[in-house]
Amino acid sequence: MQTTHYDSIIIGAGPAGLTAGIYLSRAKAKVLILDSGVAGGQMILTHEIANYPGFESISGYELSNNMRKQAKNLGCDILSGISIQDIDFESTVKTLSLSNGNHYTADTIILATGGRSRSLGVAGEEKFKGKGISYCATCDGDFFTGKEIAVVGGGNSALEEAVSLTKYASKVTLIHQFDHFQGFEHAQEQVRENDKIDIRLSSTIVSFNGDEHLESVTVEDHVSNKRYDLPLNGVFIFIGYEANTDFLNGRCIHLNERHEIVVDSQMQTNVAGVFAAGDAVAKRHRQITLAVADGTLAALNAMEYLNNKKR
Amino acid sequence: MVLPTNLKHVATAAELNELINSEANVMVCCGRMGPMCIPVYGIMEELEDEYKHVAFRDMMFDSPEAAVIRNLPECRSFMGLPFTVYFKDGKVAAATSSIQNRDQITTILDREFGKA
């Protein structure tokens, strides 16, 4: 069993993690950045970024590539596509084991694991992904031209995409679990004014049905407590994001009720030497610029922690 | 017309035919620069070094030439980008619709083309 030691291990290679890596490696720390997917995080999924200072417009793909190259050129080791098997962050020397059998230790950890789109988690969802179920209206909307579809969700994304999808679909059924929407009032007005949109509140999809592709969904009405089948060709799911903190559940790191990491103003978690940054942290606003700021602060404080430890 | 990725591109149906007839193992991701497609291109870029016995390519979905992928019988029921097609000895071995993670992709690569 081979164990490699780093000054700092950063979990997550989105803008927060890559920024932390850039700062730490420039300060001559030995840094490993791990990511379960590809470097860039949610940023790589953004078609166009127009609010990142210094770039009037840049694709998320290009900005991700630039940040990754910068971190790598400064000396960060970056491992993508990893899966964490076990952690021990409570000891002075933190340990981390991957499912591929590799083991690492570090004096500091920065958790920058970001977030992911929520899925419904009901029967048939995985089977019909790409065969009727989509999470991206701009990507897949044109496959449903002249067809009947549903949109799931009640926030701004769901409301805006429901309106947007009426450009393609003959009918859009908007299904939301609560008896009211959470989106902005103007977005709700646009939905209610659109003749192509049928609203079903207090309702949830309990199964996706079909053979080769999606043919219907079974909906449960929570007012009447009845279930019924709704024939359609497609479902677009926009039910928000959740923090990638599954591997921290039941561990020493303090999470809030939404499973987001709780930190102080210096990005320090409740465990000495463990910092957190970016979208996985409990906070109100999530932006690339804020993730970069979080990553900077976490790195500076991790560096201070490392320096104090050496004294 | 090609996608602005770091992968090698297939621009025409003729290029694709030449490729699948000259390379035993080919993975082609046919998409746009959208949030469902970009992660797949990223994973392919990372797998290029690992799976040297596989030719990784992308193709622009909206190009008329991409009809060669869009009209494959294996893609008939697809309604989500990207359309990813795996060719073994010139024939379609597997095809997937919409975003796939690294594990899903390597499972197909290992099964159809052999482990890295």
> What's the rounded mean pLDDT across residues A137-150?
94
Of B3, B5, B110, the closest CA to residue B54 belongs to B110
What pLDDT is stored for residue A127 in this prediction?
A: 93
Work out whether strand A133-134 and strand B25-31 pair parallel, antiparallel, or are unpaired. unpaired
Query: If you measure CA to CA, which chain B residue comes closest to A81?
Result: B102
For the cut 80, the answer to whether the pLDDT of residue A287 exceeds it is yes
> What's the rounded mean pLDDT across residues A268-287?
95
For the cut 70, the answer to whether the pLDDT of residue A283 exceeds it is yes
Domain boundary among A205, A237, A269: A237
Q: Any idea what DSSP says for residue A43?
A: G
- Domain positions in chain B are 10-113
- Are the Cβ atoms of A59 and B4 closer than 8 angstroms? yes
Cα-based distances in Å from A250 to A53, A104, A241, A247, B48: 39, 21, 21, 8, 37
Q: Are residues A245 and A112 in the same domain?
A: yes
Domain holding A152, by residue range, is 133-237
User: What proportion of chain B, given as a percentage, has pLDDT over 70?
Assistant: 100
What pLDDT is stored for residue B94 in this prediction?
A: 98
Is pTM beyond 0.80? Reply is no
**ipTM of the predicted structure?**
0.80
CA distance A1 to B61: 46
In chain B, residues with a C-beta closer than 8 Å to the C-beta of A80 are 46, 102
Question: Which of B98, B105, B106, B107 is the best substitution to test chain A (most A C-beta atoms within 10 A)?
Answer: B98
Residue with the bigger pLDDT between A87 and A137: it is A87
Q: Are residues A224 and A141 in the same domain?
A: yes
Number of domains in chain A: 2
Confidence of residue A213 (pLDDT cuts 50, 70, 90): very high
> What's the rounded mean pLDDT across residues B21-49?
92
Q: Are residues A172 and A85 in the same domain?
A: no
Of A230, A272, A251, A243, the closest CA to residue A113 belongs to A243
For the cut 80, the answer to whether the pLDDT of residue A45 exceeds it is no
CATH fold label, B10-113 = Glutaredoxin (3.40.30)
pLDDT digits (tens, 9 = 90+) for B62-113: 999 999 999 999 999 999 999 999 999 999 999 999 999 888 999 999 999 9
For the cut 70, the answer to whether the pLDDT of residue A1 exceeds it is no
Helix, strand, coil fractions of chain A, as percent rounded to 5: 30, 30, 40
> What's the rounded mean pLDDT across residues A123-150?
93
Mean pLDDT of chain A: 94
Closest to B36 (Cβ–Cβ): which among A40, A59, A136? A136
